[in-house]
Structure 1
């Protein structure tokens, strides 16, 4: 499935949630979609959990 189709489906889901459920439902669907996207990338191996916990210096501590 192409990324354009995935984006279309996500946009339609957010649109339906916003129309029928209000702004709170829109935010809930958007947040759950983001969590699902991160979990999917993690399970595919495209994302390393350590990337969230390392600082900008790449995990090095102390003077260079």
Structure 2
């Protein structure tokens, strides 16, 4: 299984991940991108992020 990580220092809150996600999972709350429940780990947000702030890592 994978874990999504957001590097909030790289994230510019452009909303590209919010618009791209087919499941409507990423949200911008209190000026930060947060991941709600329902992520299917499709990688769309990671591929869309212009600053490479979103990554997926293997859960150990």
Q: Same fold judged by TM-score > 0.5?
A: no
Greater helix share, structure number: 1
Task: Return the TM-score normalized by structure 2.
Answer: 0.24
Larger strand proportion, structure 1 or 2? 2
The two structures have a TM-score, normalised by structure 1, of 0.24
Comparing both chains, which one has the higher relative contact order based on Cα–Cα distances under 8 Å and sequence gaps of 6 or more? Answer: 2
